[in-house]
Amino acid sequence: MALFGKPKYTIVKIRKREIPEGLWTKCPECGEPLYKKTLDENLKVCPKCQHHFTMTAPERLAMIVDENTFKESDTELESVDPLEFMGLKSYRQKIEEDQKATELREAVVTGEGEVFGKKAVVAVTDSRFIMGSMGSVVGEKVTRAIEKSMRKKLPLVIVSGSGGGARMYEGILSLMQMAKTSAALKRHHDAGLLYISVLTNPTMGGVMASFAGLGDIIIAEPKALLGFAGPRVIEQTTRTKLPEGFQRSEFLLDHGMVDMIVPRKSLKETLHRLIDYLG
């Protein structure tokens, strides 16, 4: 009988909607899931905990330099392989891979631009390119930027973010860049010109021990790791427990190593004000 028969069902196949990859990321500080477009619009700062994500050199330039005012310099300079270094990859191979991945020729971009109408010479390192480490070309480009600042009598702004320090693929030639950039900054200082150093996470090694640590005004982003050797290396070497927050921006501010901590959203305005007052 139909009353007790097997009921008839209409089977509807629902196609699962696929979510494209790369739309979301997770904050490493608080674990909050973040929509990448929203994160980019917020200058790559987590809206929940204010964690500052890493930015590329072009992103930082777009953030601090007025639109259509930046004129890049020394674009033709490119590293060679003086030691014919060989590891798991050759130095030449590593350079070519990072050039392709970043669309940069080297780990620093230098040039001249305006910050709310105030002219300045600007250099920005990019941690995607061999961790922003300083080889011969990075040292040469930074030195040329310092000398351009002197020649044109313009303020100098260098934004550093280097976990690699001196680039040991080049041996002593890399270490020599610490002295070269420091000597150039001494001449810059003697000329009475303003140098603002902006430290981002992480600024370490030979970069921190040379031009990054020599600013007339040193600005740090919140919670950035700043120093020469990392805290784990120091603990293992000295066999002592380091204080809470050791080598972070806030710790260095308390101990007089940086002048101010400035959130990313306020950086351009702060640079403009400093250049206006001191430049």
| DSSP calls for 6-70 | PPP----PPPPPPPPTTSEEE-TTT--EEEHHHHHHTTTB-TTT--B----HHHHHHHHS-TT--
* Mean pLDDT of all residues in 211-238: 94
Q: 106, exposed or middle or buried, with CB in 10 Å at 0-12, 13-18, 19+?
A: buried
For range 37-56, the mean pLDDT = 94
Q: Is the peptide bond before 20 cis (omega within 30 degrees of 0)?
A: no
Closest CA to 231 of 218, 219, 248, 208: 248
Higher pLDDT pick, 134 / 2:
134
Structure letter (DSSP) for residue 243: P
Residue-wise pLDDT tens digits, 188-215:
999 999 999 999 999 999 999 999 999 9
The percent of residues in the chain predicted with pLDDT above 90, rounded, is 84
> What is the separation, in whole angstroms, between the first and last Cα of the chain?
96
pLDDT band at 18 (very low <50, low <70, confident <90, very high): low
Q: Rounded to an integer, what distance in angstroms lies between the CA atom of residue 40 and that of residue 143?
A: 32
pTM of the model: 0.89
Q: For all residues of the chain together, what is the average pLDDT?
A: 92
**Which 8-state DSSP code applies to residue 186?**
H
Q: What is the pLDDT of residue 7?
A: 60
pLDDT for res 3: 56
Tokens matching residue 157: 């702004």
Whether residue 9 has pLDDT greater than 70: no
Element at 278 (helix H, strand E) = helix 264-278
HSE-up (13 A, CA, CB side) for residue 48: 10
- Of 247, 82, 73, the C-alpha closest to 176 is 82
Structural domains in the chain, CATH included, are 25-54 (no CATH), 55-278 (3.90.226.10)
Give mean pLDDT, residues 36-54. Answer: 93
Give mean pLDDT, residues 136-164. Answer: 95
